[in-house]
Amino acid sequence: MTYFIKASRFLLEDGEKKDAYLQVNQDRFGFFVDEVPNQANIIDWSGYTVAPGLFDTHIHGINGYDVMDGNTEAIHGISEAILPLGVTRFLPTTLTSSEADLEQAIKAIRDAVKQGLQGAQSEGMFLEGPYFTEKHKGAQNPDYFCDPDEKQFLSWQQLAEGSIVKIALAPERNGAIEFIDSIHKDGVLLSIAHSDASYDCCQKAIHAGANNFVHLFNGMSGLHHREPGVAGAAFIEEQAFAELICDGHHVHPEVASLAAKIKGNKLTLITDCMRAGLMPDGNYMLGEFPVVMEDGIARTESGSLAGSTLRLIDGVKNLQTWTSEPLYDIWHLASLSPAASIGRDDLLGSIATGKIADFVVIDDQLTIQSVTVAGKEKYHKEKSEVNE
């Protein structure tokens, strides 16, 4: 099926295109045209903006579901809950846990994807842990922390049928540098997280193949003028990606703005959302830890932030407000940069000829009106329905 989208504005990688028609051929974007053929199928979004689908590369759960529930219902639930929020692609994200629980979660993700997700589509799995350090454990369970084990990881990758695309670890753990050097060659994004590593240690990890910093400033040694630490390494290493949670709680707005200025398109906006997202204040679980959410902020009993309840579209709104940068620049930090971080920017993350036609329609307040995945509308605000 071929159709044309008419809109007042399209957000592109390098700017905006106004008052045009965009061709969609089957599941791919075609070309922009000023006029369409007679009898063409036109979807008219005059007065609205069309933007790339958002891509959340770090999400544990939402709407009462968690990846660590270890069942396909949770993965389907997350997929369907984030679709109306403008997210078309995501990486289901695990927590540090027992081998048995991790393997159950991996199987659940694998099986749910095989069954077919009706909402946002999974682009692979993200294992957050268990190779972390206790000093910056955050809401990760230190009882299961251990040194990187290539044999163990490869067994998980086999169970996942090759779909683990990202793993986070603390590079100061024994054998971590060798692990990074070996695993990154298979196309897995090695990420630094929950780490007290020195700057020199981070540099070794980066040179070995690590190319991402998980939730910048959170769960890592901070920037000091005599010891740049993990946060400093994220800033100094220009080619490394750095994730940021823009909810105003995890990172101060001015520091978030500074990160955007320094990292540019190597900054990736994430949610790190847990099951309390979209839910009322109250008591929840994050892995094995009880969590209390008050005023939308989730914390463990010790007071540590326990993931977030952020919607990715709100992270975009926040950072755009804080920086006053053009919307298309900030938007792509939540679409194209995440895709680039896992090497999928050739097909995903922006409106460009030949790329998969994932897009959202927004009004001037960035309210989601419609969400399309691979050329098929899956959500429409007025009807609130999913088209098969």
Residues marked active site are found at 272
Structure tokens of 375? 């050329």
Query: 3-state secondary structure string, 277-293?
Result: CCCCCEEEEECCEEEEE
- d(CA 282, CA 295) in angstroms, rounded, equals 9
- Which pairing describes strands 189-192 and 210-213: parallel, antiparallel, or unpaired? parallel
- d(CA 361, CA 105) in angstroms, rounded, equals 33
Strand, coil or helix: 29: strand
Q: Are 48 and 7 in contact (CB under 8 A)?
A: yes
- 92, amino acid identity: P
- d(CA 26, CA 12) in angstroms, rounded, equals 20
Q: Answer whether the bond into residue 130 is a cis peptide, omega within 30°.
A: yes
